[in-house]
A and B are shown apart, each in its own frame.
Chain A
Amino acid sequence: MMELSYPYICKIQSEVPREALTHIDQKILDRMGGSFSELFPEFSRVFGGASRAIDKLWSPPKLVLQKGLREWAAYIVVQSEAENLFFMLQPEFMEKEGELFDEDYQMLPESWKELYRWFNSFCITQKNYCPMNWWNTPFRFSARLDLDDFEQEGGLSRQDTERFVESVGLKRSGLTCFLLTENGDALFVSEEECDGRVFHVNTKDMGIVTEIKDPKSSLDQYLEHYLSGGKPEDYSFIG
Chain B
Amino acid sequence: MNLSLERYRDIVFRQDKSTIEKYFQRLNRRSAQYDDDVRAFDRQIETESSRRLAGWKADLQNFAVNNSQDHYYFGMAGFIAAEFLPTDRLGLALGITPLPPLVNQANRLIPKGLFSRVSDKGLYLGERVFVGQEVSHLFGQAGAVINGKTIRTVPTDVSARFQGMGYLDPMTNTFKSAPINQTLEVDHIFPVKEIMRLPRFKKLTTEQQISIIHDRVDIGNFQPLPKTFNASKGSKLDWATYRQNDVNPAYERDLINRQIEIENSIQRQINLFYKANRGAK
Chain A interfacial positions (CB closer than 8 Å to B): 5, 66, 68-71, 73, 88, 91, 93-94, 100, 103-105, 129-133, 141-144, 149
Partner of A93, one of B83, B256, B268: B268
Partner of B265, one of A5, A70, A94, A132: A70
Count: A-B pairs, CB below 8 Å: 64
Taking the nearest CB of chain B, how far is it from the CB of A18, in angstroms?
20
> What residues of B have a CB within 8 angstroms of the CB of A129 in the complex?
253, 256
Contact call A73/B257, Cβ cutoff below 8 A: yes
10 A-B pairs with CB atoms under 8 Å apart are A5-B253, A68-B260, A73-B264, A88-B260, A91-B268, A93-B267, A129-B256, A131-B237, A132-B260, A141-B198
Contact call A142/B238, Cβ cutoff below 8 A: no
- A132 and B197 contact, Cβ closer than 8 Å, known pairs A68-B258, A70-B265, A73-B257: no
> What residues of A have a CB within 8 angstroms of the CB of B195 in the complex?
142
Chain B interfacial positions (CB closer than 8 Å to A): 79, 83, 193-195, 197-200, 220, 236-238, 253, 256-261, 263-265, 267-268, 271
7 tightest A-B CB contacts, nearest first: A68-B261, A132-B237, A104-B199, A142-B197, A71-B264, A142-B194, A73-B260
> What residues of A have a CB within 8 angstroms of the CB of B271 in the complex?
93-94
> How far, in angstroms, from A27 to B253 measured CA to CA in the complex?
29
- A132 and B261 contact, Cβ closer than 8 Å, known pairs A5-B253, A104-B200, A142-B194: no
Residue in chain B with minimal CB distance to A132: B237
Interface of chain A, main secondary structure: loop
Contact call B79/A69, Cβ cutoff below 8 A: yes
> How far, in angstroms, from A121 to B214 measured CA to CA in the complex?
28
Partner of B237, one of A66, A73, A143: A143
Residue in chain B with minimal CB distance to A134: B238
> How far, in angstroms, from A94 to B268 measured CA to CA in the complex?
8
> How far, in angstroms, from A66 to B261 measured CA to CA in the complex?
9
Known: A73-B260, A133-B236, A149-B193. 11 other contacts (CB 8 A): A66-B260, A68-B258, A70-B261, A71-B265, A71-B268, A73-B257, A88-B260, A100-B200, A129-B256, A142-B194, A142-B198
Contact call B267/A94, Cβ cutoff below 8 A: yes
> How far, in angstroms, from A100 to B199 measured CA to CA in the complex?
10
> How far, in angstroms, from A68 to B101 measured CA to CA in the complex?
27
> What residues of A have a CB within 8 angstroms of the CB of B265 in the complex?
70-71
- A131 and B268 contact, Cβ closer than 8 Å, known pairs A141-B197, A141-B199: no
> How far, in angstroms, from A88 to B257 measured CA to CA in the complex?
12
> What residues of B have a CB within 8 angstroms of the CB of A73 in the complex?
257, 260-261, 264
> What residues of B have a CB within 8 angstroms of the CB of A100 in the complex?
200
> What residues of A have a CB within 8 angstroms of the CB of B256 in the complex?
129-132
> How far, in angstroms, from A130 to B265 measured CA to CA in the complex?
19
> What residues of B have a CB within 8 angstroms of the CB of A143 in the complex?
194, 197, 237
> What residues of B have a CB within 8 angstroms of the CB of A88 in the complex?
260
> What residues of A have a CB within 8 angstroms of the CB of B194 in the complex?
142-143
> What residues of B have a CB within 8 angstroms of the CB of A130 in the complex?
256
> What residues of B have a CB within 8 angstroms of the CB of A132 in the complex?
237-238, 256, 259-260
> What residues of B have a CB within 8 angstroms of the CB of A149 in the complex?
193
> What residues of B have a CB within 8 angstroms of the CB of A69 in the complex?
79, 83, 220, 261
- A144 and B261 contact, Cβ closer than 8 Å, known pairs A69-B79, A132-B256: no
> What residues of A have a CB within 8 angstroms of the CB of B83 in the complex?
69
